[in-house]
Amino acid sequence: MHVLYEDDGGFKAATLLSETDASLQVEATSGKRSKIKKTAVILRFEKPSPDALVKEAEAASGDLDLEFLWECAPKEDFDVPALAEEYFGHKPGPVEQAALLFRLHGAPVYFHRRGKGKFRPAPPDILAAALAAVEKKKRQAEQQQAWADEMKAGTLPDAMARMAEILLFKPDKNTQEWKAFDMACTQIQIRPDRLLLNLGAFPSALAIHKRRFHGEHFPKGTAFAPVTVPPVPTELPLATVDAYSIDDVTTTEIDDALSVETLADGNVRVGIHIAAPALSVTRDSPLDLLARGRMSTVYMPGEKIPMQPDEVIAAFSLDAGKPVPALSLYVTADPATGDVIASETRIERVVVKENLRHNLLDESVSEAALDDPASDLPYADLFRPLWNLAQKLSAKRDAVRGRPELNNRVDFSFYVDGDPDLPDEATVRIVQRKRNAPLDRMVAEYMILANNLWGGLLASCGVPGIYRSQQMGRVRMSTVAAPHDSIGVPQYAWCTSPLRRYVDLVNQGQLLAAVEHGVSARLVAPFKPREADLFAIISNFDGKYSAYSDFQQQMERFWCLRWLKQEGVTRAEAVVLREDAVRLKDVPLFTRVGGLPALQRGQTVLLDIMGSDELDLELDCRFVEVVQTEALEAPEEEPLLVDTDVELATGDVSPDAVAETAEVEAADGPDANDLPLDTAGASEPPLDTSADSEPSAPPQ
């Protein structure tokens, strides 16, 4: 005896071994024995064998006319044997009963199940709607397959082209377009972004990188609506100093300027003048909310996404020749020792005499020229006293740090000539620049001095600020002043880049209150002690800053790969970092080299450039030979593994060094926290990246 029974929504046939009141023991043809409920049995039969029954019934069921069955079936619930006898015109055998069962079970549009072996024909209106839905689904499946076939053949259907960004970044997986796209990706075995790139949905891999970033961080676009900047009080006193800014040629948001005066007693008075947008961009104002939403300017080769609207930048950037509101720190110091004798902070207007540029001065303003009073040094009355005092200030910090700062690395400036959105039509220039240039070092030293002294001013007035600290190797960002061992200062608050970094803007608002109200400022400052919103800003800033940093590194890596292609580089020298990790000499590109022999850090090797992938940002290269058998003293003598959080907070290491660390630790690309945002590897100072430089982007 054999039985046909229902199992997990399907039907199986097996040989009956034993039976109780509630269950049966059956054996499949394979020999597997199972226990089934008696209520699951639909048909008992002697012949044919279980396997033969299923095969013959499945074959016969395809010949049964569904529409005829639906028409002749009772309009109420019915049993399969009863309909089978009426349909076949005789008492049906096991195969005929099973065939009809399979046919009815496989046609839920025509027949609704009403229990074991029981069905009811669908009402005419429901059947018509269901058939229409089936037909629609069939047409959709045909359309999806047609689209998939087009993509497999190398053609992008118009429907897919119109929604390429949605498919890649915000797909609706219930749409026909997505299902066709997913089908093509699965059948070709290719990633969605690469398929769309291959089909021309995006003009370049760069467009995919940028649109992915914009979609996540700037879903409403990067442009600002027109804004109105509240007027700044015109009664602010006008400073009687000759101030100069020192920036890269591409800098358009000029945050800082310096002035110097030699006093009658031989001491010098240095003025550190910082743009003061916090006078108008006050807490919770519309302009403040715009800046808080972005948290920082985003930099990349060839372009940037500013934190502040153009109207704010135009009103507060320290452009030469116009009186601009500034927060000025005047420091009187002994140039022979570097001792700070007095300091004073003023809210005033400053007229910058000239916006100096690194590309025009770096070669002529050398250490030799600065140290030789007889040399023909441009702006000698400005640079010599600033340089002499900066060296003394640096030496005092070195004594606290317990080690000298290493500023022997090479930085790289990126310049994109042409439209950066069209890399195939643009030309990228990557220019090496020694990071210990005197102009960099002196500006950085005074930015550190300002961030240190202003952090101390906030603390002395009981006004909270946002500080970076490092003690016992632990880096923290908090609202309480604490020493920063890596820089060698008792406290360090970002204050010198308020046009480009929201933390600096917040601290400037607190400073303005401290300057105007002194110890009572804690009662009137925008943020009060232990205010939760200040901690929320710290948290939000860290997240945004890391994401922007990661994107900046991706863009620099893309343009490095593009430079290799543009210059037709097939062989390149690289410096060994550790194990199989190397850095190309001509561009700041880090990669791993399979088969690299065991070499010392700093040795130079020759590589064959086999190819690159601009979507994955990967370089394919092969080791050829060792060029330099002895480890170089520079730029690799600085310890490789740096505390990136500390170093980026202070600017104490170059983007080159940080990216190097990230590449060694993660071979598939730079990490999110490993590059200063306001330098992009361009005119970064050796110590402080907060104010004096900007990446190599065309003027905007």
Domains: count for the chain: 2
Helix, coil or strand: residue 182: helix
Residue ending a domain, among 141, 175, 202, is 202
Least Cα distance to 572 among 595, 559, 588 occurs for 588
| Cβ–Cβ < 8 Å for 386, 258 | yes
Per-residue pLDDT tens for 9-45? 889 999 999 999 889 999 998 899 999 999 889 899 9
177 located within any domain: yes
The whole-angstrom separation of Cα 316 and Cα 232 is: 10
Q: What is the pLDDT of residue 654?
A: 33
User: Residue 374: how many CB atoms within 10 A of its CB?
Assistant: 6
- Per-residue pLDDT for 681 more than 80? no
Is the pLDDT at 431 greater than 70? The verdict is: yes
Note whether residue 56 is domain-resident.
yes
Contact 613, 456 (CB under 8 A): no
By the 10 Å C-beta count (0-12 exposed, 13-18 middle, 19+ buried), 94 is classed as buried
Same domain, 93 and 113: yes
The answer on 104 and 134 residing in a single domain is no
Residue 506 near residue 466, CB atoms below 8 Å: yes
3-state secondary structure of 655: helix
Question: pLDDT digits over 310-353, tens only?
Answer: 999 999 999 999 999 999 999 999 999 999 999 999 999 999 99
Better pLDDT: 603 or 699: 603
pTM recorded for the entire structure? 0.78
- Residues 678, 697: contact at Cβ < 8 Å? no
Any idea which of 335-349, 513-527, 558-572, 678-692 has the lowest mean pLDDT? 678-692
pLDDT band at 508 (very low <50, low <70, confident <90, very high): very high
Identify the pLDDT of residue 658: 36
Determine contact, residues 586/600, Cβ cutoff 8 Å.
no
Residues 194 and 91 in one domain: no
Q: State which of 139, 172, 202 marks the end of a domain.
A: 202
Stretch 493-511: mean pLDDT: 96
β-bridge partners, 410: 434
pLDDT per residue as tens digits for the range 44-80? 999 999 999 999 999 999 889 888 999 888 989 998 8
- As given in the structure block, the two tokens for residue 391 are 């060296």
Helix (H, G, I), strand (E, B) or coil at 563: helix
118 and 132, same domain (yes or no): no
Q: Is 244 helix (H, G, I), strand (E, B) or coil?
A: strand
Tokens for 567, please give them.
Answer: 């210059």
Q: Are residues 181 and 94 located together in one domain of the fold? A: no
Query: What confidence tens digit (pLDDT) does each residue in 85-140 have?
Result: 888 888 999 999 999 999 999 899 999 988 888 899 999 999 999 889 888 889 98
Shared domain for 61 and 167, answered yes or no, is no
The tens digit of pLDDT for each residue in 578-588 reads 889 999 999 99
Measured from the Cβ of residue 291, the count of other Cβ atoms closer than 10 Å reads 25
Both 99 and 166 in one domain: the answer is no
Question: Do 115 and 15 fall into the same domain?
Answer: yes
User: 411 pLDDT band (50/70/90 cuts)?
Assistant: confident
What angle do the packed helices 502-517 and 438-460 form, to 10 degrees? 50
The C-alpha atoms of residue 488 and residue 490 are separated, in whole angstroms, by 7
pLDDT band at residue 404 under the 50/70/90 scheme: confident
E-assigned strand segments in 149-294: 243-247, 256-262, 268-275
pLDDT at res. 636: 37
Return the pLDDT at 646: 29
Dihedral sign computed on CA atoms, order 623, 628, 634, 636? positive
What pLDDT does 416 receive? Answer: 93
Q: For 229-271, what is each residue's pLDDT tens digit?
A: 998 877 899 999 999 999 988 888 999 999 999 999 999 999 9
Name the band, by pLDDT with cuts 50, 70 and 90, for residue 407: low
Last residue of a domain, one of 157, 177, 202: 202
Contacts (Cβ under 8 Å, ≥6 apart) of 548: 217, 295, 296, 298, 299, 677
Helix axes 176-188, 124-152, angle to 10 degrees: 50
Question: Residue 118 domain-assigned?
Answer: yes
Quote the crossing angle between the two packed helices 80-88 and 94-105, to the nearest 10°: 110
Task: Specify whether the CB–CB gap between 94 and 80 falls below 8 A.
Answer: no
Q: Tell me if the bond preceding 438 is cis, omega within 30° of 0.
A: no
Q: Is residue 685 within 8 Å of residue 443, measured between CB atoms?
A: yes
Task: Name beta bridge partners: 609.
Answer: 621
Quote the domain boundaries for residue 74: 2-122
**Cα torsion at 247, 346, 333, 400 (round to 10°)?**
-70
Please say if the pLDDT value at position 662 is more than 70. Answer: no
Q: b or e along 511-521 (b: 16 or more beta carbons within 10 Å of the residue's beta carbon)? A: bbbbbeeeeeb
Q: Give yes or no: residues 6 and 116 share one domain.
A: yes
State whether 37 and 102 are in the same domain.
yes
Per-residue pLDDT at 642: 30
User: Rounded to whole angstroms, how far apart are CA atoms 689 and 680?
Assistant: 10
pLDDT, residue 231, reads 87
Assess whether 44 and 130 both reside in one domain. Answer: no
Cβ neighbours, 10 Å, residue 240: 10
Question: How many CB atoms sit inside 10 A of residue 166's CB?
Answer: 15
Q: Is residue 447 part of a domain?
A: no
DSSP output for 30-97: TS-EEEEEGGGEEEEESSS-HHHHHHHHHHHHTTS-HHHHHHHS-SS-EEHHHHHHHHHSS---HHHH
Query: Using CA atoms, how far apart are residues 499 and 512, in angstroms rounded to an integer?
Result: 15
Q: How far apart are CA 167 and CA 194, in angstroms?
A: 12
Mean pLDDT of the chain: 86
DSSP codes of every residue in 437-496 = -HHHHHHHHHHHHHHHHHHHHHHHTT----EEEEETTEEEEESS---BTTTTBS--B--S
Tell whether the model's pLDDT for residue 155 goes beyond 70: yes
pLDDT above 60 for 415: yes
Q: Are residues 54 and 134 in the same domain?
A: no
What pLDDT digit, counting tens, does each position of 272-309 carry?
A: 999 999 999 999 999 999 999 999 999 999 999 999 99
Section 451-471 average pLDDT: 95
Please give the Cα distance from 209 to 193 (Å, whole number): 10
Distance between start and end Cα atoms, the chain: 89
Question: What does the alpha-carbon distance between residue 626 and residue 619 come to, in Å, rounded to a whole number?
Answer: 19
Tell me the residue ranges of DSSP E strands in 128-276. Answer: 243-247, 256-262, 268-275
**Would you state the pLDDT for residue 115?**
83
Task: Evaluate whether residue 57 is within a structural domain.
Answer: yes
pLDDT of residue 395: 94
Specify if 664 maps to a domain.
Answer: no
Flag whether 21 is in a domain. Answer: yes
pLDDT of residue 408: 61
* Chain Cα centroid distance, residue 19: 67
- What pLDDT is attached to residue 631? 57
Q: Is residue 100 part of a domain?
A: yes
Tens-place pLDDT, residues 625-651: 998 766 554 443 333 323 333 233 333
List the one residue out of 502, 497, 499, 495 whose CA is nearest residue 540: 502
Of the candidates 290, 273, 696, the residue with the CA atom closest to the CA atom of residue 508: 273
